[in-house]
Structure 1
Amino acid sequence: MAHAHQQHQHPLPHTHTHEGSAHTHDSGATPDGLPEILDLDAALFAPHLTALTGRIACLAGDDVRHVVDLGAGTGTGAFALLEQFPTARVTAVDNSPAMLERIVATARERGLGDRVRTLEADAGAGLPGIADADLVWASASLHHLDDPATALAGIRSALRPGGLLAVAEVDGMPTFLPEDGEAGALEARCRAALAGLHAERLPHRGADWGALLTAAGFSVEQERAERWELRAPLPEGAGRYAFLVFERVRGSLGGRVGAEDLAALDRLVGGGPEDVRHRDDLVVRSTRETWTARRPA
């Protein structure tokens, strides 16, 4: 697997914000704002995440005792699944010690410390010590794998016979601006530029996971795509979420879009009247694709 934070659950490149820009001084962002983005994404789309994990719970059945969250990030998926399975324990797998420490701290805060353990591992190289999982959840993590076939074979062996693998992927950066007019055109150009960046660095983004799962010996039971959308009145945190996403996009696209587009991005995070934190026309949109597949009994 290619880079240090490849398993975290978000569709943006894991780069730091660009240096020397006008907006970094007032951003309030961490050098890498990814943990906050992940937590805001989960909070804003909480009803959607609950519905998704509820569908997974229906397919997985009542006797789920061990859940594995693959590329756990800040643990948003792990905690959502613990709500669905009140007697289960979860193993959060990530290759970032900082992310795993954060999950442990959150578990303690929520009184779930005895139900959460962590495993620092590269999911592409197998899941050492796991052979009894009832459910593996992989949200926006599989597209980071260098060799999906090898990784899926490792996941299959970590599942018990009859166990379930739930894969969730996003179709690119979320969008926020009105779709008609120049703002929407800017966002479309940014998405296209990011797609080009991902094609170079993450060749399995957008892969046909249904076919890959079948080839790996899984039986695909459900496949669906959903457009998650939030309109005014937006939940608290939507402007901050948009700001952090655009800040990250701006830090990734130097040299990949024109100077006018970079200047427009600077205005979206610059603290002035066009800053996304001050706009009242935001609509938060994100398309999630999910596949649910079973290891044959």
Structure 2
Amino acid sequence: MTHHVSAGHDRDSHAHAHGMEQPPDDLVEILDLDAEMFAPYLDSVHRKIADLSEGGVRHIVDLGAGSGTGTFALLRQFPDARVTAVDSSAPMLEQLTRTAAGKNLAARVHPVRADAGKSLPGVSDADLVWASASLHHLDDPAAAMDVIFAALRPGGLLAVAELDGMPYFLPDDAVPDRPGLEARCRTALTSLHAEQVPHLGSDWGTRLAAAGFDIAYEQTGQLRPAAADSPLRERAGRYAYLTLRRIRDAVDGLVEAADLKALDTLLDGGAQDVRHRADLEVRSTRQLWIARRPAGAGS
């Protein structure tokens, strides 16, 4: 997905979703690590999109493009396509543009700074709109659906990829005197999200149908991409560390002091630190909807 791990929904929320002029230092790394952890899943989603496309995919719109992980994965899957990368954060788009230049892909990437919930200036006749963990940030999803519908050509696809909350990294008894630590942090974050990102966890299938889209495919599954003996172990440890560090800041004041102390033991470089635990395993539930603008639908 582009990008978005649930831990990013801290009290500052995602920089690229809310227009902060400077994203947190670790956000780009978290987004890139998330894409690396779930690369096989991302590739399978893009292959499914290719299977469902009618008339080919040559113009893609990446909504909430962030650091560009989705953009570049889509360019690999669709070698004849160009991507309009939409984000409200200028620093994120600058990062994406630098990466595109470094990959010799600048000619295939067009950055657009915009609030996709309100308008997509100059965007029309798109074959695919890719919205990975971005729609739930928008203030008015129904209005955003109308904007996306108008940006697609008849027969074009909208792919909505979402997650159900923070990933899990450790077994329930990872901190023996605080069993269930991650579950309690998840509950605290859910309470926080209800205030800050109330559309997280929405039934996007119902929203898509109400906007006039035809649902072509739905999928929900729990992914386990990085086990202790995986070649990704070190990268998974870094991903867990950065994610739990953001979670620790987000739940300060929302969980018991003993839970904060337990989180600190997972981040302090000691024997229990997630960066070198043998029982680390990334687990996340991902949801996908692929919908089509009907071929006979007007703008």
TM-score by length of 1: 0.90
Residue of structure 2 equivalent to 1:205: 200
Residue of structure 2 equivalent to 1:4: none
TM-score by length of 2: 0.89
The aligned amino acid for 1:39 is D
Shift of 1:85: 0.8
Alignment match of 1:188 (pick from 175, 183, 200): 183
How many percent identity over aligned positions?
58
Alpha carbons 1:134, 1:163 under 8 Å: kept? yes
For residues 273 and 80 of structure 2, what CA distance do their matches in structure 1 show? 45
Alpha carbons 2:63, 2:116 under 8 Å: kept? yes
Alignment match of 1:123 (pick from 107, 116, 129): 116
For residues 166 and 218 of structure 1, what CA distance do their matches in structure 2 show? 11
Secondary structure of the residue aligned to 1:123 is coil
Secondary structure of the residue aligned to 2:180 is helix
Secondary structure of the residue aligned to 1:67 is strand
Alignment match of 2:227 (pick from 220, 225, 231): 231
Residue 215 of structure 2 corresponds to residue 220 of structure 1: yes
Mapping for residues 1-297 of structure 1, pairs under 5 Å: 9-12=4-7, 13-15=9-11, 31-61=24-54, 63-180=56-173, 182=176, 185-229=180-224, 230-234=226-230, 235=232, 236-297=234-295
Alpha carbons 1:15, 1:32 under 8 Å: kept? no
Alpha carbons 2:65, 2:71 under 8 Å: kept? yes
Alpha carbons 1:170, 1:288 under 8 Å: kept? yes
Which runs of 5 or more residues in structure 1 are unaligned? 1-6, 18-29
For residues 171 and 78 of structure 1, what CA distance do their matches in structure 2 show? 22
For residues 221 and 164 of structure 1, what CA distance do their matches in structure 2 show? 9
For residues 123 and 91 of structure 1, what CA distance do their matches in structure 2 show? 12
For residues 267 and 220 of structure 2, what CA distance do their matches in structure 1 show? 30
Alpha carbons 2:10, 2:247 under 8 Å: kept? no
Shift of 1:184: 5.6
Shift of 1:8: 5.9
Change (3 A) 1:8 1:85: closer
The aligned amino acid for 2:286 is R
Range 253-262 or range 58-67, more displaced? 58-67
Secondary structure of the residue aligned to 2:184 is helix
Change (3 A) 1:108 1:140: same
For residues 213 and 184 of structure 1, what CA distance do their matches in structure 2 show? 39
CA RMSD of aligned residues (A): 1.8
For residues 180 and 9 of structure 1, what CA distance do their matches in structure 2 show? 27
Alpha carbons 1:74, 1:103 under 8 Å: kept? yes
Runs of 4+ in 1 over 3 A off after TM superposition: 14-17, 179-184
Residue of structure 1 equivalent to 2:20: none
Which runs of 5 or more residues in structure 2 are unaligned? 14-22
For residues 147 and 223 of structure 2, what CA distance do their matches in structure 1 show? 31
